[in-house]
Structure 1
Amino acid sequence: MTHPLADRFDGTAEILAEIAARTPDTRDYHRETHRTIDAYHPKRLRVVVTDVIGETATSKTFRIAAADSAPLPPFLAGQYVNVFIDGTSRPFAISSSPARLDHYDLTVRRVPGGRISNLLIDTVEVGHHLTTTGPMGTFHHNPLFHGDDVVFLAGGSGVAPALSMIRDIVDNELARGFHLVYGSRSADDIIFRDELDAIAAAHPNIRVDYVIAEPNPGWHGPTGFLTAETITALVDELRDRMVYVCGPQALYPYALQQLTSLGQRRRRIRFEANGAPADPTAQPHWPAGLDATEEVTVTVGATSFRTPRNRPLLDALEDQGIRPEAACRSGECSLCRVRVCKGEVHHAEEARLRLSDSRFGYTHSCVAYPLTDVEVEI
């Protein structure tokens, strides 16, 4: 049978003959493509703890490496991995440099009453194996939009992504200016102080200032909180530089108020996702007069259970051994999306819902609270 192109183009017969003579390409490109993607964006990593570094009386850094000794996936300074432990998971920022892929450093600060931070600090030792996600998150420098002169307001362990960004600047000899203003309860609880001081002394483009809330008699630096006055005194004029903020939840609304009072535009302020709200009832759209501690019924398929209204839906599901995929636990990544088939939930302000979510009944379960009896689909 004559090929339909044979009479339309000169040389068709020769080209078809050459194609027919070639050795068939039987490679599985689908599998090869997924193998490449998984190397850079793995769903899970099996890691081993190679070192535990005591940073302060309340914090430790856990150095982890791939259990098979392979290089870890690349990441951008400021990103995190989600650690799976004790039937749940928590995200922790990587504090090490993106230039080093033989390990990640995860710096954890003890949270009073915190389930996972205390478990990690009190029980995890060298040689322990852990499971994490690959690196993820949007809290990193974007050279096209953030400029080459940035300010970082950190509180407590919120200095972890800041150190990764600083190490990135040093290791890759970047010309970026970086001013860290680090608030800590006491001088003894400043994480990475020696390294930060040494880097700042050696690199004129990096500046570090500490602000101590409860200073001892020997402290001679700035004190109190990260007020507008303190920011102005240390940073001078913000000049619309990009400002990163990372720390305890209480820092975020406070920092936003202080920065906007200085004329900083909201789109020039970036907050790291840092957990569900401690008190969802404090948000203005929580229904007035509704008892947050009263229990409602959650139904998933053939399983039903009771949970208080003020417990995140994701936590309530995990309590029953039902574990949707999750990562940021802050309403940003959307991996824990579930569909609410019946009933009503409170969407916390932190939820980064898609425009279509409300139409089709989806919510981010990590920052959703069941207000009535609900039926959900995972």
Structure 2
Amino acid sequence: MKHPLAPLFDGHDDIQAEIDRRPADTADHAAATRRILDAYHPGRLTLTVAAVVSETPSSVTLRLRRPDGADLPPFLAGQYVAVYTDGTSRPYAISSGPARPDHWDLTVRRVPGGRISNHLVDTVKAGDTLVTTGPMGTFHHNPLFHGDDVVFLAGGSGVAPAMSMIRDIVDHGLDRRFHLVYGSRSADDILFREELDALAADHPNIRVDHVVAEPGPQWAGPTGFLTASLIKTLAGPLDRRMVYVCGPQALYPYALTQLAELGHPPRRIRLEANGAPVDPTAQPHWPTNTAPDTAVTVTARGQSFRTRRDRPLLDALEDEGIRPEAACRSGECSLCRVRVVKGTVHTAEEARLRLSDEKFGYTHSCVAYPLTDVELDI
């Protein structure tokens, strides 16, 4: 059907005549489009663990490949995949570079008491299989908005996306300056130390500074935490440079405070989503006189069960065999979005909700906590 305004444009008659001369298109474009979407954005992949590399006493890198050896879906340096195991999932940044599509490297550090990290570090071996999502996440360099001179503040395993970004710069010969300021508990805890130092030595546009919180007698580099003073000493004036931050939960409020002290604007700071809050009751909008260890009733998909108020709804649902789609577990991706039909929940500050979610009762179950008995629509 012709649009009524189309004839007003110059050349309309010639273009319409060309369209009319073309043979009818009877191809099944929907099927072809589906194949392309599945190749680049798969829902699930079953991958083989090709190698397990011991990085530090508490961390390993799992190299994943397709069983048939074909290339994996492309990704942007800094993105992550979710790994599904033991009835739940956890997101892990890809530490390998995008230039090598035959594999993904996932670097996993043991979390004390961690259900999945301990399993991956202790029991996964070469030849095993793991189920993952395709690449996801918005924590990557955008050349239009982030400029060609960036600083990355990393803590612990938060260096994994920085490693991917550095490998991307080297593999593609990118004209980008990258300064990594990497904080570790001890010298033995530094991930990729030899490779990072070698890449920095060979590439003048890459700089790496290691900062150790608990130095041994042999450590001669910077020590302590990533304070405003230390950031200024190592990185110099931040000016309009983009600053990335990735690490344990405690790093985020601390880094934001230090960057604010330096006068760096929030719009020039990129934070990677990294899990649910350690203590949701510490957030300002947690209601007073609401005991976090009190149990309430959750009803979903015809089941009812009890759970503590300070436990994420997603964790509680999974323990009952109710498994909403989930990936980031940090309030960002929205895959675990559910509607609260009855009752009240505390939605953590980490949740990136849509403008309409509050009006219609939606929340992200990975960072939502039931304050009263609740009924959910999943």
- Partner in structure 2 of residue 317 of structure 1: 317
Q: Are 1:79 and 2:108 counterparts? A: no
Question: Pairwise mapping of residues 1-378 of structure 1 onto structure 2 (< 5 A)?
Answer: 25-378=25-378
Mapped partners of 2:129, 2:292: distance in 1 = 38
Mapped partners of 1:124, 1:197: distance in 2 = 29
Q: Which runs of 5+ in 1 are unaligned?
A: 1-8
The total of aligned residue pairs comes to: 365
- Partner in structure 2 of residue 6 of structure 1: none
Q: Which amino acid aligns with 1:220?
A: A
Mapped partners of 2:281, 2:121: distance in 1 = 31
Mapped partners of 1:60, 1:229: distance in 2 = 33
Q: Which amino acid aligns with 2:203?
A: H
Mapped partners of 1:302, 1:152: distance in 2 = 47
TM-score by length of 1: 0.94
CA shift digits 1:351-372 (9 cap, x unpaired)? 0011100011000000000000
Mapped partners of 2:261, 2:138: distance in 1 = 26
Mapped partners of 1:224, 1:302: distance in 2 = 52
CA shift digits 1:62-97 (9 cap, x unpaired)? 000012322100000000000000000000000000
Bigger Rg, which one: 1
Query: 2:293 aligns to what SS in structure 1?
Result: coil
Mapped partners of 1:46, 1:96: distance in 2 = 19
Mapped partners of 1:302, 1:338: distance in 2 = 15
Query: 1:358 aligns to what SS in structure 2?
Result: helix
Q: Which amino acid aligns with 1:239?
A: D
What's the offset of the Cα at 1:26? 3.7
Mapped partners of 1:161, 1:300: distance in 2 = 36
What's the offset of the Cα at 1:45? 1.0
What's the offset of the Cα at 1:27? 2.4
Mapped partners of 1:299, 1:376: distance in 2 = 6
Q: Which amino acid aligns with 1:337?
A: R
What's the offset of the Cα at 1:240? 2.2
Query: 2:253 aligns to what SS in structure 1?
Result: helix
TM-score by length of 2: 0.94
Q: Which runs of 5+ in 2 are unaligned?
A: 1-12
Q: Which amino acid aligns with 1:198?
A: A
Q: Which amino acid aligns with 1:371?
A: L
Q: Which amino acid aligns with 2:99?
A: A
CA shift digits 1:125-156 (9 cap, x unpaired)? 00101110000100000000000000000000
Mapped partners of 2:302, 2:357: distance in 1 = 24
Query: 1:46 aligns to what SS in structure 2?
Result: strand
CA shift digits 1:304-330 (9 cap, x unpaired)? 000000000000000000000001000
Q: Which amino acid aligns with 2:281?
A: T
Identity of aligned residues (%): 73
What's the offset of the Cα at 1:301? 3.0
Q: Which amino acid aligns with 2:372?
A: T
Mapped partners of 1:349, 1:79: distance in 2 = 22
Moved over 2 A (4+): 24-27
Mapped partners of 1:364, 1:302: distance in 2 = 20
Q: Which amino acid aligns with 2:377?
A: E
